[in-house]
Amino acid sequence: MSSEFHIPVLSHEAVRLLINPDLKNRVLVDGTLGGGGYTKLICEGTAEGDFIYALDKDLNAIDEARAKLGFCAKKLEIINANFADVAETLAGRGVNEISGIVLDLGLSSFQIEHEDGFSYLRDTPLDMRAYREDPLTAADVLNEYSRHELLRVFEEYGEIGNAERLADSIAAERKKSRFTTTIQLAELVESEYRITRKNRMDFLSKIFQALRIEVNNEIENLKMALEQSLRICASGGRIVVVSYHSLEDRIVKNFFRSNSAGKNDPLEGKLLKILTKKPVSPGWNEIKSNRRSRSAKLRAAEIIQTQI
Ligand SMILES: C[S@@+](CC[C@H](N)C(=O)[O-])C[C@H]1O[C@@H](n2cnc3c(N)ncnc32)[C@H](O)[C@@H]1O
């Protein structure tokens, strides 16, 4: 694996918002280690007495980051875990309170380019699991889901217009032969829809993204991680999320708003102060040098302890 593993997006902005300079002996969590870009900056930006936990579901990310982050070993533990289980994972290490967590959602470039099923540009098995132990693959979704379930996936996660047509053609195709490879799906889509060369990439990306979100339970994981983060973050702790999909961004925005000052019934007496009135987006230079950053939106909030 190489330095091309993943180009971090909005990394300086995310890490600056994560580290509250007013706190000491901070416990910080990078819930999406990936290529270790954010974790490296967190290591560099923290002081003696601080400690960092970095989580990833994907073992390739863990191997890559271990090789890269040796300089920080004294104050870093890398853990192969789902961020949806962050509270339990840390409690197992005797940690019940943290000073901040960052989530940089989605996949690393390495996963898209080298792991099975994520890209329509290579012919690979329709797998798409970031975590090999997970039970569901993309082929299972295409071969086993009812038409109704397929519609939900493509409409909600892909925001695809005329998703009925796609669901119908998948249901018809699998009667002839079961889905096994990425190119089989890409060819079906191209034969069903009149897509031009110009919109081919966007359209196929949306379909593959929708399947990936379903296979990896990404929406549910995000909701669980947000709730647990609020519960275990101490006063002054920060929650920072970078998302690449409008549904994920909406979930983060609504979570921050519904737990922010002025709202009733805060979770465990904690309220959030929103630090980003508008989401932070990459500048033109970042988008130019890293096309994958173009849809990124960063939101951050700080915990205010009201009462216990
Ligand atoms: C966009 S990359 C993160 C890149 C990282 N910020 C960097 O600077 O290199 C997203 C990473 O999150 C991981 N991931 C996605 N969902 C996860 C989950 N529920 N729990 C833990 N890791 C997850 C993916 O395996 C991937 O490595």
Distance, in Å, from the CA atom of 285 to the CA atom of 9, rounded to the nearest integer, reads 12
> What is the tally of structural domains in the chain?
2
- Among 172, 196, 215, give the residue marking a domain's end: 215
Q: For the whole prediction, is pTM greater than 0.85?
A: yes
pLDDT (0 to 100) of residue 267 = 67
Do 286 and 10 meet the contact criterion of CB atoms below 8 Å apart? Answer: yes
Structure tokens at 129: 């699991």
Task: Output the residue whose Cα is nearest ligand 1's atom 8.
Answer: 37
Q: What range defines the domain where residue 194 resides?
A: 135-215
Buried/exposed 55-87: b ≥16 CB within 10 Å, e otherwise:
bbbbebbbebbeebbeebeeebebbebbbbbbb
pLDDT (0 to 100) of residue 232 = 97
For ligand 1, the distance from its centroid to the CA atom of residue 31, given in whole angstroms, is 7
**Which CATH number is 22's domain given?**
3.40.50.150
- Among 157, 190, 215, give the residue marking a domain's end: 215
Task: Output the residue whose Cα is nearest ligand 1's atom 7.
Answer: 37
Residue list, ligand 1 pocket, CB within 6 Å = 6, 8, 11, 31-32, 34-38, 55-58, 61, 82-84, 104, 106-108, 130, 221
Give the chain's residues under pLDDT 50: none
Measured from the Cβ of residue 125, the count of other Cβ atoms closer than 10 Å reads: 14
* Domain assignment present for 203: yes
Distances (CA, A) of 291 to 200, 204, 208, 241: 16, 16, 17, 19
Distance, in Å, from the CA atom of 289 to the CA atom of 295, rounded to the nearest integer, reads 14
Q: What is the best residue among 5, 41, 56 to mutate for testing ligand 1's pocket, by most ligand atoms within 8 Å of CB? A: 56
Tens digits of residue pLDDT in 69-108: 999 999 999 999 999 999 999 999 999 999 999 999 999 9
Distance, in Å, from the CA atom of 175 to the CA atom of 222, rounded to the nearest integer, reads 35
